[in-house]
Chains A and B, each alone.
Chain A
Amino acid sequence: MKSLRGRAPSKILRLTILGAWALFCLLPILWFLSIGLRPRTEIILPQPLYWPTWTVEAWNMIWSDWPMGYYLRNSIVAVLGSVVIDLALAIPAAYALARYRFRLREDIGFYILSTRMMAPAVVAIPIFFLLRNLGLLDTVWALMLVYAAMNLSLVTWIIRSYMLDIPSEIEDAARTDGATDLKILVMIIVPMCLPGIITAAVIAVIFGINEFLFTLLIASTKSAYTLSVALANFTGGSDGVIYNAISMVAFLAFMPVLVLLIAIQNHLSRGLTMGAVKG
């Protein structure tokens, strides 16, 4: 690194640019936190207020004025359920794509991938009718099924990428010992690509928590509202948008996501590109 001096861009330039962007990332977050920690009367003013009267009024309000427990439960149940469905479907599929040669392999793999490209709005109407006919509108089950479908491509491709890294000699050895293919998958492959499975699961959790359009269409009461969509309903008639409550809910969802992401940060780029980048 020392030898780079003189040729590398100057340290001041580098720190200025990176620092400027860091401020641009952080300042809106801190300001939004301050919105959550101020009374509602200090939010929308002719002259914005940057140092408010600090209060946890909004935090208390979200628990007392709204069925936040339901929203939280719906988010957790729908997201975790969808991840379980995804893993159950994706692990065998990923194994087939990574390990077997069969006709249509490329086409099937690409088909799975291509479902990631579908705009939610495009399939929203038929899926809305499908769920209505099944009597699943406004249920957590509907959210679970939709989130699972939305993330299945991603989960399959991420896990597939990690399976490709496992040397096939290990499986060959197990096979000569008489293990069946299914046993190899469960006892050898799954434990060995656990980091990939966890990465895929975390990314699926995050996208599930974030999901907005389908939830907006499916949910109409507290029995299916998630945090993401409940936010948009924090408008109390004449009160307008209740920003301090929105802020508190946003940070409530932010904290677990932050923890999950830090846990997988070294796998993040690989996960986000569905395995195209290793690093």
Chain B
Amino acid sequence: MSIATTNNGRAASAARPRIYRRRSPLRRKLFPYLLVLPAVAYLLGITLYPGIYAMVQSLYRVKFNSWTFIGLDNYEKLFADPEFWASLWNTLVIGASALALEFVIAMTLAAFAYRDPWVRGWRIIFLLPMLFMPSAVSFIWKLAFNDGGVVSDLLMGIGVIGSPLDFLGNVWLARLSLVITDVWQWTPFLFIIFVAALQSQDMEIEEAARLDGARWSQIFWNISLPLIAPIVAVALVLRGIDIVTMFTSVFIITGGTPGGATETVSYFIYRTGFKRFDFGYASAASVVVLVATVILAQTFVKRFFKSGRD
């Protein structure tokens, strides 16, 4: 916009009575809706449309381009499918372990770092793993655990184990390798948020408690932690969402082995749809996960986010 038009606008508004420039009440009322409309329409296109599409497709047996209506057969088969239940269980086990570890480590580090004079330096160093592409990080750990045998070699070097571990062959070691990959890359996500929360709290409260003779650990547990609890909850919810959708590391590191013990729900849907080309069945699984997501979002997440200021 050129300066000339701005000046014209100003001149015009000065000449006319101010009230003249006000919009009609209806247009004023519609204005905010017009502002959100493009974004909402775009998101509906990429969520509502797929949701409906998946629901319809889940009622069909899809073989290449021929669709046969089979009613709820896919769902019946799905709920009786041990592989589907196993994928839910794996997601829960791997996700909960990773989230718990990340939380404990990030909180410990944040508690030690937030008043450290070098906090900015620590933050940059801790951040680095998060800056690599997840696919690259998966390859780093695939090489370290499996192909390169570095983890086994280091553990043997310090005498913890006698012979190399088979991280792909053992159920718990395979899951552990996914957990460690996630912890390495994403602990900084929580750490950064926790440090910021701890730094932004009211220092006077801590100071007052200290003057009353409280120990450092008491202050942290009884004052700082409860103060930042809402932010901790938001951070855990966001991280939790990303963990349960875990796909890249499974795809690259384990491929679901051994015996499907590391197959997450995302990988189950991917494998069913794009490896076995059973799209109707994969859609049924998608719909089930989608419904679960909506319920979880409504009950757990909604309370943490408010649109406006009230």
Contact = CB atoms under 8 A, between A and B. Distances in A.
Contacts of A173: none
A62 interface: no
A75 B134 CA distance: 15
Q: Is chain B's interface secondary structure helix, strand, loop, or mixed overall?
A: helix
Contact of A92 (B14, B36, B144): B36
A212 interface: yes
Nearest to A250: B136
B20 to A, nearest CB: 9
Contacts of A53: none
A14 B112 contact: yes
A120 B246 CA distance: 9
A32 interface: yes
Contact of B36 (A47, A96, A110, A148): A96
A277 interface: yes
B231 A250 contact: no
B229 interface: no
B134 to A, nearest CB: 5
Contacts of B231: 273, 276-277
Given A21-B126, A125-B57, A43 B136 contact: no
A112 B40 contact: yes
Interface string A46-59: 11100000000000
B122 interface: yes
Interface string B146-184: 011110010000000000000000000000000000001
Interface string A210-244: 10110011000000000111011000000011010
Interface of A: 1, 3-4, 7-9, 13-14, 17-18, 21-22, 24-26, 28-29, 31-32, 35, 43-48, 85, 88-90, 92-93, 95-102, 105-106, 108-130, 145-146, 148-149, 152-153, 156-157, 160, 164, 176-181, 183, 186, 206, 209-210, 212-213, 216-217, 227-229, 231-232, 240-241, 243, 246-247, 249-250, 253-254, 257-258, 261-262, 265, 268-270, 272-274, 276-279
Given A17-B108, A279-B196, 12 more contacts: A8-B115, A17-B112, A18-B112, A47-B153, A92-B39, A108-B36, A117-B293, A152-B39, A253-B136, A268-B127, A269-B193, A269-B196
Pairs A-B, 6 closest by C-beta atoms: A109-B307, A178-B13, A126-B50, A269-B196, A250-B136, A121-B266
